Structure 1
Amino acid sequence: MEHWKAVQGYAGMYQVSTSGNVRSLDRTIETSRGVKQRRQGVVLRPRINQEGYRKVTLYKQGRGERFYVAELVAKAFLDSEATHDRIIRADGDRVNDQIDNLTVKPSTTQAYASLLDEFDLLLTQHIELSPRQIRDIRRRYQTGLSIRRLALTYQVTENRIRNIIDKKEAQYIS
């Protein structure tokens, strides 16, 4: 079922659908000479640009602006901050602008915030090791067990295992 939503910045003038269609709405416009004209809404016919993507031109106050259809769909239904370079098509087809084919990569600020959240989570999950476990880690490393294996065994990071071995952590335990 095709659902329609207003195009961001063009409410009451244009709508975009989950199927990748864009339509103008019935409206009254004023020409440059001051004459009011009734315009009937129609489904717009996108043009294919040189790179193979569908684009439409939307008009507001007599000025036209071109938009990628996929970007309009993504902004209306997925992420209001979506940009063309962050849109991924599942099937790789540049003219398939249906909502179920589109995903939006997170922006750099969103990705950074996500990494910070993961880091905070790791810090809150700090595992306390007993002096006996620390001695055991050092002994097992001396007998040839790898840092990675030790990290997996004790459920800590490899960096923490290195710090224990180099006596940067728990230096008082021999």
Structure 2
Amino acid sequence: MEVWKPVVGYEGLYEVSDMGQVKSLNYRMTGREQILKPQLSGKGYHSVLLSRNGKQVRRKNHQLEAEAFLGPRPEGKQVCHRNSNKLDNRLSNLRYDTQAGNFADDYSLERHPASRMSNETRLEIIALWDQGDYSKERLARQFGVSATTIAKLVNSTNVSDRIYQQSGLC
């Protein structure tokens, strides 16, 4: 059974479900409830348009759901999809975590380009970066990935931990 809770800041106007749906409690001032059709945001997330006192705000469904069911977002955390599917907004798929934790989901599920690299390639990138002679952009061009992928790889943990993890000895 789908569970509904008030949207934080829009109590009495909107509710969000543990399945990621959002509904208006007074759709277009008709007095009837209506599940809102989500739009895809530029980054691929479901979002809905909320209205209060004549002001409209577009909000992402997963953020509304996390706020309602998990409580306020802790400082330095973001809402993460456990399976990295931005459209899977079931409560069981959401959690608060750091950006690094969110990246780890993508990495462990092999959804991130760096996760598809061999251990040898990752070790080579880390070693070149640690020499200090290569920029992230240069490494990205050399290995055919984005500079963001390089940044996430080289900034993942401290140097010795990265090499130990990548060596397969752990």
TM, length-normalised to structure 1: 0.52
Structure having the higher helix fraction is 2
1:43-58 residue pairs with structure 2 within 5 A? 43-58=35-50
Residue 136 of structure 1: aligned partner: none
Residue 12 of structure 2: aligned partner: 12
C-alpha RMSD over aligned residues: 2.5
CA 56–82 in structure 1, closer or farther in 2 if over 3 Å, else same: farther
Residue 55 of structure 2: aligned partner: 63
1:1-174 residue pairs with structure 2 within 5 A? 1-26=1-26, 38-81=30-73, 86-105=78-97
| Partner-residue secondary structure (3-state), 2:42 | coil
> How big is the shift at 1:87?
1.1
CA 13–89 in structure 1, closer or farther in 2 if over 3 Å, else same: same
Contact 1:14 1:25 in 2 (8 A): yes
- How many residue pairs get aligned? The number is 99
Structure 2 letter corresponding to 1:4? W
In 1, Cα distance between equivalents of 2:13 and 2:71 = 21
In 2, Cα distance between equivalents of 1:53 and 1:105 = 18
| Partner-residue secondary structure (3-state), 1:8 | coil
Which runs of 5 or more structure 1 residues have no equivalent in the other structure? 30-36, 108-174
| Partner-residue secondary structure (3-state), 1:70 | helix
Structure 1 stretches of 4+ with a deviation exceeding 4 A read: none
> How big is the shift at 1:79?
2.4
Contact 2:73 2:96 in 1 (8 A): no
CA 6–82 in structure 1, closer or farther in 2 if over 3 Å, else same: farther
Residue 165 of structure 2: aligned partner: none
In 1, Cα distance between equivalents of 2:35 and 2:13 = 12
Contact 1:55 1:68 in 2 (8 A): yes
TM, length-normalised to structure 2: 0.53
In 1, Cα distance between equivalents of 2:98 and 2:82 = 16
Contact 1:74 1:82 in 2 (8 A): no
> How big is the shift at 1:61?
1.1
